[in-house]
Every structure is written in structure tokens, then in C-alpha cells.
Amino acid sequence: MKMWSGRFRQPLDAEFERWQRSFDFDRRLLRYELEASRAHAKALKEAGVLSSDELITILQGLERIGKEATESAAFLEDNEAEDIHHFVEKKLAGFIGDAGYKLHSGRSRNEQIATDLRLYVRASIDQLQADLAEWLDAFVTRAEQAGDAAMPAYTHLQRAEPVLVAHWLLAYVEMFLRDADRLADCRKRLNVCPLGSGAVAGTTLPLDRRAIAASIGFTAPTANSIDATSDRDFALEFVNDLSLLALHLSRWAEEMILFSSQEYGFLQLPEAYSTGSSAMPQKKNADLIELTRGKAGRVLGHATSLLVTVKGLPLAYNKDLQETQEPLFQATETLLQLLPLVTGWMKSVEFQFDVMQKAAGSGFMNAWAAATYLVQQGVPFRLAHECVGKAVALSLDKGVELKDLPLAELRQLNPAFDEKFYSSLALDSVLAIHDVRGGTAPARVRQAVTEAKKKIEALREETHAHA
Ligand code: ARG
């Protein structure tokens, strides 16, 4: 039986009927629909609309729907269900008879879909947070394994200064911790319950909205029924958070792709996550990370779709809102699939520490340290900069590094140069002078590793608290 056929005298156009249905994609929401329906059924009983027996029968019927859906995929094949709400009502009435039609008393699909989607986003955030903790953990583990190995850091993709490999890895930890933080923030805001909002003006029965909200883990009922049934901010916010996460993954992927090229040679691609070429027998291609970079474009597209779908919509529920589901699901599923894969990649990639270390010691990346040496000799920085620049130019002409210039030649540039200059150029000295919080001096990086571990532990605790 349809949910609304009474006032219609003509049948729907068959093509339109099929086309407007959302069941193909909103069947994903079944467990949330059942969860919300249980809460509503209990409230109906408290309000005296259902007898105790009816409540028990309804709860058993709902449980059976959940069970059959997990046992057989065919159970979810339904060519008549308009959406997940209609599907559950049909099945319930099929299992328990007309009592099943009592469940919809005092509620509207408008509040149901708003609730189901909140529950879906909340559960997705919890899973993503757990996955992010593993992802972050892979970086910190690799940072610990890297010890005091160094590599070049780049600005403008030109060699800039040497840093510890661990310091570079921890940059990604900070980036992805911000993503986890944004998700936690989104979760806080979304965790209120639309049930009891009815179609637009509030339910028509005396339901205890606080009890309903609490029974499905929401902190409170939503405050305004018009807003509650038309609000999709939580989905927009969430997918925008996901697009930033995907964008970060694409930056990471891009760097890994570059570093795996023979031109850099900083890492060996893990065979388990690479593929070959059908034509060139020697090839090992970085498919996983290339696809990661590519997926970011689509997730950004989903975020844009959502924003544009809701833009300009008048209050309250409009069917356009059904169009917010697919971009939400697709963006969520993309990230849920990606995170475990990139974590596996990150755990198995092989860093070529010798190549990185060698690259860290050449290419004048000690030039700023050289100028700092002169500053410590009392030379004003701008003059020191100019002088070291000249020394670099001289070295380039001779095809040598700064350390190969004889003291006599250096002294012609500035009399402040002395023997100690040479030790200030050594890789260890260059790393050591960046001795500030957030800098790459080895002791600071060790401290940062410890702090990163604590942050990841806190993230894990947060996810356990929600489990
Ligand atoms: N499938 C619908 C959606 O996703 C559920 C709400 C339908 N409400 C309505 N008044 N037709 O938005």
C-alpha cells in the first residue's frame, strides 16, 4: 500500500513513479530508520497511542526487518518501495498486519529522513575518526623508525633546508589531526534530534521529545520544527570536512608520487599497492596514490553538489532535499574506503634513507645557516645574506659546495669568516640550529613525536567513548 494514495484519482505515470524513488540509495539508511522507529514507537506507547502489546509486536516486527536484511540481500529488493520509510512500513505491515500502520501516527517522513541522515553522518564520523587514528599512527610509527635521518625540505619545489624525515612526516600528522578535529566539531553540532518535528509544524501527538532524543543518543531535541525538517547543514558541513580531508590526502599522494619517481628516488613503491604496465615490462606504477589524488576531485564535486542543491531553497521540506543523499553517501563511502588503503600503503612503503640523507647534504641548503653564522659574528643579516649569496655564486662557478671554498676567498667577501664557519655548515649543525618548538632540531622532533602520540591516543579515546 502507498503512503499517500487517498486523494489521487489517477495512477502515477509509471516512468515518473520509478524515477522519483529514492529506495535504490536510501536503503543504506535501514539501520537508522529502524533505530529511529523504535524510539518513536516507544514514545507512542508513552503517549497512549499504542498498547503495550502493540508496542512489543511492533518492536519485534522492526527487529525481524533488521534481521532479514542482514541475512539476505534479496530482502532489500523491492520494486514498489518509494523510499526507506515506505519500505519499512510495508514490511512491518506484512509481518504484523494492520498494527504496523500505527507506527506512522504523529510522524512524517520529513522528520524521519532528517533524523536518519543525522544518525548516518554521526556513525560515519565515528568510523572515520577510528580510521584516522590508524592513519595517523602509521605516520608516527614511520617517524620513529626514521630516527635522525634527514632529507631536503622544499619551498617552491626547490631544495630549501634540510629537515628530519620524522619532522616531514609529522607535518602530515598535524594536517590530518585538524581533519579529525573538524569532524569532532561537526559531530557535536549535528547531535540533536529532529523526531517530533512532524512534517513542518511539530508532531500532532503529545510525544516526549527529550526521551526520544535521549534513547538514540542525541543530546537534545531540535529547537524548531521548521528548521529541523529542512536543515541539511550537518551534511553540507560534513562533506565539506570530507573534501578538506580528501584534499589533504591528495597533497600527500602528490608528494609520494613525486618522491617515488626515479628523479627523487626517496621511496620504493609497495608492490602490494602498485600495478604494472600492459606494454612496458619495467613499469611499477603508483596507482593507489594516483587514484587517491584523483578521488579528491570527486569529493570536492560532491561538496559542491550539496551546497548548490540547498542554495536558495525556501523553508521547509522540499523534495530537492532528496538530492542531498547521493553526494553525501558517495563522499562518505569514498573516504571510508580510502583511509584503510592509504594506511596500508603508508605502513609498507620503503623509504630510501640513504638517498634522502645524501640529498639533504647538498644543493646549498646550508646557506641560511651560513648567514646565521655571520650574524652571530656580528654581521647585520642583510649583509650576511648578500655575502653568502656571493659565496654560493662563487661555488656554483667552481662546481663545488660552500664548504669547499678556502677561508682566504671567504675572507675577501667578509673578514668576519673564520675556521668555525666550516663546522656550522655540517648537516648536524644546520639541523641543530632550528632549535625551537615546531622546528626540526632532533631533540625538538623527538619531543614532537611524543606529543603526536598523545594526540592520537586522545583521538582513540574519543572514538572509544562513542563506540
Ligand atoms: N525520500 C525522501 C527524501 O529523501 C523522504 C522524505 C519524503 N517527504 C515527502 N514529503 N515526500 O527526502
Residues 150-159 have a mean pLDDT of 97
Burial grade of 156 (CB within 10 A; 0-12, 13-18, 19 or more)? exposed
Residues 171-196 have a mean pLDDT of 98
pLDDT band of residue 3 (cuts 50, 70, 90) is confident
Residues 410-427 have a mean pLDDT of 97
Ligand 1 mean position to 466 CA, how many Å? Answer: 29
The pLDDT score that the predictor gives to residue 354 is 98
pLDDT band of residue 284 (cuts 50, 70, 90) is confident
Q: Mean pLDDT for the chain?
A: 97
Residues 398-404 have a mean pLDDT of 97
Does 108 qualify as catalytic in the annotation? no
- Residues 26, 31, 33, 36: is their CA dihedral positive or negative? negative
Does 302 qualify as catalytic in the annotation? no
Residue nearest (by alpha carbon) to ligand 1 atom 4 = 322
Ligand 1 mean position to 108 CA, how many Å? Answer: 9
Ligand 1 mean position to 109 CA, how many Å? Answer: 6
pLDDT band of residue 69 (cuts 50, 70, 90) is very high
Residue 161: its H or E element: strand 158-164
The pLDDT score that the predictor gives to residue 381 is 97
pLDDT band of residue 430 (cuts 50, 70, 90) is very high
> What is the maximum alpha-carbon separation in the chain?
102
pLDDT band of residue 243 (cuts 50, 70, 90) is very high
Check pLDDT > 90 for residue 413: yes
pLDDT band of residue 70 (cuts 50, 70, 90) is very high
For a ligand 1 pocket test, name from 2, 8, 83 the mutation site with the most ligand atoms within 8 angstroms of its C-beta: 83
For a ligand 1 pocket test, name from 108, 109, 306, 313 the mutation site with the most ligand atoms within 8 angstroms of its C-beta: 109
Check pLDDT > 90 for residue 167: yes
Check pLDDT > 90 for residue 323: yes
Give the pLDDT confidence of 32-45 residue by residue, as tens digits.
999 999 999 999 99
Ligand 1 mean position to 232 CA, how many Å? Answer: 13
Residues 217-221 have a mean pLDDT of 98
The pLDDT score that the predictor gives to residue 1 is 84
Pocket around ligand 1 at a 6 A CB cut-off: 22, 26, 83, 109-110, 113, 317, 319, 321-322, 325
Check pLDDT > 90 for residue 103: yes
**Quick one: DSSP state of residue 285?**
B
pLDDT band of residue 5 (cuts 50, 70, 90) is confident
At which residue does the C-alpha cell 563511502 appear?
Answer: 333
Give the pLDDT confidence of 19-31 residue by residue, as tens digits.
999 999 999 999 9
Burial grade of 7 (CB within 10 A; 0-12, 13-18, 19 or more)? exposed
- Residues 74, 78, 83, 88: is their CA dihedral positive or negative? negative
**Quick one: DSSP state of residue 79?**
S
Which of 351, 327, 347 lies closest to 339 in space, CA to CA? Answer: 347
The pLDDT score that the predictor gives to residue 444 is 98
Ligand 1 mean position to 262 CA, how many Å? Answer: 54
Residue 114 forms beta bridges with which residues?
none
Which of 155, 237, 207 lies closest to 45 in space, CA to CA? Answer: 207
Residue nearest (by alpha carbon) to ligand 1 atom 12 = 322
Residue nearest (by alpha carbon) to ligand 1 atom 3 = 322
At which residue does the C-alpha cell 522492526 appear?
Answer: 62
Give the pLDDT confidence of 115-143 residue by residue, as tens digits.
999 999 999 999 999 999 999 999 999 99
pLDDT band of residue 4 (cuts 50, 70, 90) is confident
Residues 177-190 have a mean pLDDT of 98
The pLDDT score that the predictor gives to residue 467 is 84
**Lowest mean pLDDT: which of 54-58, 110-114, 279-283, 403-407?**
279-283
Among the listed residues 277, 362, 423, 464, the single catalytic one is 277
Residues 373-401 have a mean pLDDT of 97
For residue 225, CA distances in Å to 29, 72, 109, 192, 375 come to 22, 37, 13, 12, 66
Q: Sketch out the chain's domains with CATH numbers.
A: 5-105 (1.10.275.10), 110-359+456-466 (1.20.200.10), 367-424 (1.10.40.30)
Task: In whole angstroms, give the CA distance from residue 433 to residue 440.
Answer: 9
